[in-house]
Chains A and B, each alone.
Chain A
Amino acid sequence: MIGQAVLPTPELVFEPLLPELVLVVFAMAGLLYEALAKRTEAVVHLSIGLVGVVLAGGTSLWLWDWDGPATVLGDAVSADRFAVLARLLLLVVAALGLLLGHQYFARSGDEQRGEFTPLLLFATSGMTLIVASADLILTFLALEILSLALYVLTGLTGRRAANEAAMKYFLLGAFSSAFFLYGVAMAYGATGTTKIAAMALALTGTGEAQALAVLGFALLAVGFAFKVSAAPFHMWTPDVYQGAPTPITAFMSAATKVAAFGALIRVLDVAFQALAWDWAPVVWGLAAASVVIGSILAIAQTNVKRMLAYSSIAHAGFILTGLTAAGSAGIRAAMFYLVAYAAMTVGAFGTVMVVSGRGEKRTRIGDYTGLARTNPIAAALMTLFLLSLAGIPPTAGFIAKVNVFSAAIDAGYWVLALIGVVTSVAAAFFYLRVIVLMYMQEPEPAAPSLTEKVGIGAENSATAILAIPAAATLLLGVFPGVIVGIIRDASVLRW
């Protein structure tokens, strides 16, 4: 052959990316259906979304026994079990989000938006991509994909509060993305690569360019802290969680945390593992600030969504507490916490959705007065989720807290564990206050009962959806062993 040599074609092993490809294909299908069909049915949208999520889950499960290379596509995607477990958790949350959203639009006065399902699938594909990403460039792009979709989902209903929340989320999110990208650039300057495996090798054993690497990590940490809503980068959380439509709050409060923590775990325990002595104090500080600020500010809230938002800040702190332990021990504690947190927070926001009624009118804590009389099932569900969020046995939240505290103590950070225990006790106050209101006081005479408002059928199907997180919360609390083995297998990062 004369002239230019033919480029050697790289072998494309794309199977570890199948879950994302499936999600993207179904998102496109949803968009095409919305654009081409003469009359669109919400049920068809829901089915497209659910089939996509289930198929993506099936391909993820198949990847559990993947015996190909640890990273594929130019070392950009990891094919380890950690990615599989995180993806499955995300997909379950996405399915619950789709179901709750369907209920929400079916009964609220808001116009049914055909873009809901595709956008939620877009967000999910970004989230499942980020937990498998082994290249900081890809991590950044996945972060942007999920964030953009979430900004739009937040403002989807076009209600004033939702628009304001979307705007705030977008501005602060863009700001934090810039920090993250700057951190990637610094890390590249220090190591000459953006692949986390190569970064780990470059940082091992050399004292050179340490300042640049530490600064790079600090900037990356700012970006991650914003996404997981850890203090002091939590300012957006209460406004956005309150303003967004409740099913979307349920989805993003759980899924964004799983996705961002999944990526953070790879950055901490692979890329920067050689600098563990430098990043541990940073994680310590973020964890302590988050549990204290989240718990204290939650006490003063009068809106249930805001209270749960502050509680999610505190929970980000508890997960960070587990992550102060480097390596597999920290990953195990954090993963269990993420599973438990996903179940209880989706459940709690889902119950808020059931109680709030059309147009999200009833979201004050006072609206829960005497709920046990007017809607005993919702009151019972809320009690279960609140007990779990407070960390009271026999719920998942208790086991999860024990795990992160013992991981931190084993790593020598007993002061942090002590701060966590003390704030947990303080936080129990505002969770229990809602339970007391629901069970020990008479309903306000003016408050209409829920069944009158939305009809028995709508209420029952929404409650049936919530049976899934409720069962998970109880099961993980009573028999945590069912998932411990799976998490142990998934806690070894391959790179």
Chain B
Amino acid sequence: MTAQEYAFAVIAAVGSISAIAVVTARNVVHAALYLVVALLSVGATFLLLGAEFAGWVQILIYVGAIVILFLFGLMLTKAPIGRDTLDNTHRWVGLLVAAGVFAGLAFLIQDAFPLDAEPFEVFHGSTSVVGESMFRDFVLPFEAISFLLLAALIGAIVLARKDEGN
């Protein structure tokens, strides 16, 4: 095993354990914090693969923005914290769905990328490569995203301003 594989084993173990901890945590704030660890290890996996842009974006957006939003949401809505309110009766259904998704993804991945296939040349998605590609090959989708955000912004203002009038 190479150093990279050892590192991956550690990161994967940390990520998996914290992912399980997210759903078993008794306190919803703890669950959100475990989620930070799980998302950080996904980001670390990207970095390990040389995809520095995807790795940092993962950390910035998910850890920096989305989990923080979760915590703000919990804080501002005074969501009930504790075992009884978090638990629900659909555990077995949830387990079944999780197992089904896992089996399906495992089958598809081994079907598309068999173990005995030639090892991939690791593609280093450095920020400059991503930037070049984005502004050369994907310049139109990039502009379309800007426009989409503008449309969303205007839509949000239109809907929000109405409440003020009433």
Contacts and interface: CB of A to CB of B under 8 A. Distances in A.
Interface string A6-28: 01001000000100000010000
Contact of B144 (A10, A122, A141, A211): A141
A129 interface: yes
Interface string A257-279: 00000000000000000000000
A152 B139 CA distance: 27
B148 A115 contact: no
Given A144-B148, A148-B152, A189 B112 contact: yes
B148 A145 contact: yes
A433 interface: no
A74 B137 contact: yes
A212 interface: yes
B73 to A, nearest CB: 17
A145 B147 CA distance: 8
B106 to A, nearest CB: 12
A148 B148 CA distance: 8
Interface string A97-117: 000000000000001010100
B112 A141 contact: no
A138 B141 contact: yes
A227 to B, nearest CB: 16
A154 B126 CA distance: 43
Contacts of A141: 141, 144-145, 148
A148 B137 CA distance: 26
B97 to A, nearest CB: 15
A319 interface: no
Interface stretch (B14-22, B53-61, B155-163): B155-163
Interface in A203-218: 208-209, 211-212, 215
Nearest to A129: B144
B138 A137 contact: yes
A129 B111 CA distance: 35
Contacts of A142: 144
Given A156-B158, A212-B111, A149 B151 contact: yes
B18 to A, nearest CB: 24
Contacts of B162: 158
Interface string A126-146: 100100000101100110110
B112 A209 contact: yes
Interface in A166-196: 166, 186, 189-190
Of B136, B139, B141, most buried by chain A (CB within 10 Å of CB) is B141
A155 B111 CA distance: 45
A308 to B, nearest CB: 26
Contacts of B139: 10, 73-74
B58 to A, nearest CB: 15
A37 B33 CA distance: 49
Contacts of B144: 129, 138, 141-142, 145
B166 interface: yes
Contacts of A211: 107-108, 111-112
Of A17, A149, A186, most buried by chain B (CB within 10 Å of CB) is A149
B140 interface: yes
Q: How large is the interface on A (under 10, 10 to 19, 20 to 34, 35 or more residues)?
A: 35 or more
Interface string B115-147: 000000000000000001000111111001101
B154 interface: yes
A77 interface: yes
A297 interface: no
Contacts of B159: 152, 155, 166
Given A7-B132, A148-B151, A113 B112 contact: no
A31 B140 CA distance: 23
Contacts of A156: 158
A76 B144 CA distance: 11
B140 A158 contact: no
Given A74-B137, A151-B155, A152-B159, A158 B166 contact: yes
Interface string B10-45: 000000000000000000000000000000000000
Of A135, A148, A209, most buried by chain B (CB within 10 Å of CB) is A148
A445 B136 CA distance: 69
Contacts of A209: 111-112
Contacts of B136: 7, 10, 74
Given A141-B145, A142-B144, A212 B112 contact: yes
B155 A74 contact: no
A17 B137 CA distance: 16
21 contacts: A7-B136, A10-B136, A74-B136, A74-B139, A76-B141, A115-B154, A119-B154, A119-B158, A125-B147, A135-B140, A135-B141, A137-B141, A141-B148, A145-B151, A148-B152, A149-B155, A152-B158, A152-B159, A166-B159, A208-B112, A211-B108
Given A73-B140, A148-B151, 16 more contacts: A74-B138, A74-B140, A115-B158, A118-B154, A119-B154, A122-B154, A145-B148, A151-B155, A152-B158, A155-B159, A156-B158, A158-B162, A186-B108, A189-B108, A212-B111, A212-B112
